[in-house]
Chain A
């Protein structure tokens, strides 16, 4: 039985469609992330759940209650803003207790709850400070506590970590996940950072141009993308041009070198794109796997890893992959020929017309 349900939700701003037919069912206590590039409609959808935007069509239901047309202050939904949105005229304790104060809860109850939340976010000694006296990470933790103080049914987080530096981002996202698990609160998290979405979520909703591209667990989204967009947006991809030799047996030709894919639906002789995750590619190797050789174009030493780029044939494309560094590693030389292996089931077949190179490794490096 789903706890948060969005059914056919749409949002139009004049002629522009920001969100198109968005349908999602989230269980109680589930952590769902909306992942997508800027302007894909993820924040608009979140704001519709919060009540700051009214859907042009569709329904939003929380715990069997239709809240589609309720005002934001009648929804009992907590929200953490990208900019923290702490009230600058109030102390940390006053900020956290605000939701209870406007609900006219007794002072003792407010104080007790504020104390509990300050413990939860590990800032018990900051109760009397003002927001401008806190670091960005501390402010965001206070914003989280404030959103949880009045025990909302659903917690919404709108890119809460994007204004923080990388190190704090990682520690704070672990903290957010731990608190969410501890409280068992249904959570919707908006981000354009795939690593954040994959590491935090029970399920990820990948969005593009106002539409849902795919909903699945992080494992499914990464390993079994159902559209070219998801394949390219989540993780990094090598894309090689190939032609179908024998669809029945999954045989393909990459610049004259034959490889196999787990399943090929395109007709024989047609052009396809073969997408490969970089981590699936290994140097050398024996056995039944696919084998491709090419010339090393570039070797980049990155400390813990070494990134190697190999050109496969003349027009097929390039394969970039990483290998772990160790003191006895002999770095391959530019211009050497290298044999690479990967399993047939790792080959993701995309329509040759699918426009994804902009997000492949090669493009990232450019």
Chain B
């Protein structure tokens, strides 16, 4: 017997009933998340916004935002942006080449597993332990420094290298930047279909032409998005830099700490305004990442 519209409606009503109940449970399930974000994101953010418009006496002011252009603050932002950009591009390039070699290069599957496991661990290895690990390895008395000194009779310090410089900090950041790139870009590389390469070859394209016209443009939104995310990752880092350099390299996150925690630079309102600046930059990075990711997902769907 053929289905009638009435039958269909009845079925629809039956199947709709449990669906109406489920959202309540679902909302209950996600409520801890909302509570968490309210307590540890929105409330502190609100506190920041309000605090950034107050002076040391608690009176409303715009001076904190005007002070963002002072040399100390501008220099801190410039350092943060420079270090973040260099490590995002460097880590992004290295991570991409590494992931591409392992995923597309026809290496044995265990290589992929090994790389992904390492990347999962290394991308989360930051802060004090990472800084100490590098100090013990490449610091003035680090074992690698000593090894180079003893084996090749070369003092890397005298040769101009210092782990406690901007370059040293960038090297340390690279340790968690490139594994993060591997983790982010691997799904995009997996999304490159074998048929695309074969179709390109079939139509006469060389390997270079395939990468130039097909693979690279398809990956570009993902690559750019990942680099933006890496930028944000480095931009927000504080503990690693503080532990490594003790604040001798003024980056935004360290200067904010100095303004808020209080020493010579103590100015809570300015610290809050600087933090707001970082929020804006991070928001721009996340928005850029989302837009590029959306485009990439539409293509790879």
What are 25 of the A-B contact pairs (CB < 8 Å)? A51-B201, A72-B198, A72-B202, A73-B201, A73-B204, A79-B198, A79-B202, A81-B198, A81-B199, A83-B193, A83-B195, A86-B199, A87-B199, A87-B214, A89-B214, A89-B217, A98-B200, A99-B203, A102-B203, A102-B205, A102-B206, A102-B209, A102-B213, A132-B301, A147-B202
Q: B147 within 8 Å of A by Cβ?
A: no
With A73-B204, A73-B205, A98-B203 given, is the CB distance from A52 to B198 under 8 Å? yes
Q: Across the interface, which residues of A come within 8 angstroms of B209, CB to CB?
A: 102
A102/B202 in contact, CB under 8 A? no
B12 to chain A, nearest CB (A): 24
B196 beta carbon closer than 8 Å to chain A = yes
- B299 located at the interface, meaning its Cβ lies under 8 Å from any Cβ of chain A in the complex: yes
Tell yes or no: A234 within 8 A of B by CB: no
- A260 contacts partner chain B, Cβ-Cβ < 8 Å: no
Cβ-neighbour of A71 out of B200, B201, B203, B299 (below 8 A): B201
Cβ-defined contact, A85 with B218, below 8 A: no
Chain A residues with CB under 8 Å of B193's CB are 83, 85
Min distance, Cβ B298 to any Cβ of chain A, angstroms: 6
User: Looking at the complex, which one of A76, A77, A81, A88 makes contact with B218 (CB distance below 8 Å)?
Assistant: A88
Residues of B within 8 A of A (CB): 193, 195-196, 198-206, 209, 213-214, 217-218, 298-301
The residue in chain A whose Cβ has the minimal distance to the Cβ of B221 is A89
Interface status of A41 (Cβ within 8 A of chain B): no
Q: In the complex, which residue of chain B has the Cβ closest to the Cβ of A50?
A: B202
Most interface-central of B193, B201, B203 (chain A CB within 10 A): B203
Nearest B residue to A81, CB-CB? B195
Nearest CB on A from B205, distance (A): 4
* Contact (Cβ within 8 A) B198 A85: yes
Q: Write out the residue numbers on chain B whose beta carbons fall within 8 Å of the beta carbon of A55.
A: none
Q: In the complex the two chains form, is B199's CB within 8 Å of A79's CB? A: yes
- List residues of chain A with CB within 8 A of the CB of B201: 51-52, 71-73
Interface size for chain A: under 10, 10 to 19, 20 to 34, or 35 or more residues?
A: 20 to 34
- Among A51, A52, A89, A146, which residue has its beta carbon within 8 angstroms of that of B299? A89
A210 at the interface (CB under 8 A from B): no
Indicate whether A73 sits within 8 Å of B202 (C-beta atoms), given known contacts A81-B195, A87-B196, A102-B213.
yes
On chain A, the residues within 8 Å of B301 by CB distance are 132
The 5 closest A-B pairs by CB, nearest first: A99-B203, A85-B195, A88-B299, A85-B199, A72-B201
Chain A residues with CB below 8 A from B217, complex form: 89
Q: Determine which of B198, B202, B218 lies in contact with A89 in the assembled complex, contact meaning CB atoms within 8 Å.
A: B218
Please report which residues of chain A, range 76-122, place their CB below 8 angstroms from some CB of chain B when the two chains form the complex.
76-79, 81, 83, 85-90, 98-99, 101-103
A150 in the interface (beta carbon within 8 A): yes
Chain B positions within 8 Å of A103 at CB level: 204
Q: In the assembly, what is the distance between CA of A51 and CA of B205, in Å? A: 13
Contact A85 B204 (CB under 8 A): no
User: What chain B residues lie within 8 Å of A81 (beta carbons)?
Assistant: 195, 198-199
Minimum CB–CB distance from B255 to chain A (whole Å) comes to: 42
A150 — which chain B residues lie within 8 A by C-beta? 203-204
Return chain B residues, CB-CB under 8 Å to A85.
193, 195-196, 198-199
**Residue from the set B200, B217, B298 with the largest chain A CB neighbour count within 10 Å:** B200
Q: Which residue of B lies closest to A89 (CB)?
A: B217
A79 surroundings in chain B (CB, below 8 A): 198-199, 202
Q: With a CB–CB cut-off of 8 A, which chain B residues contact A146?
A: 199, 203
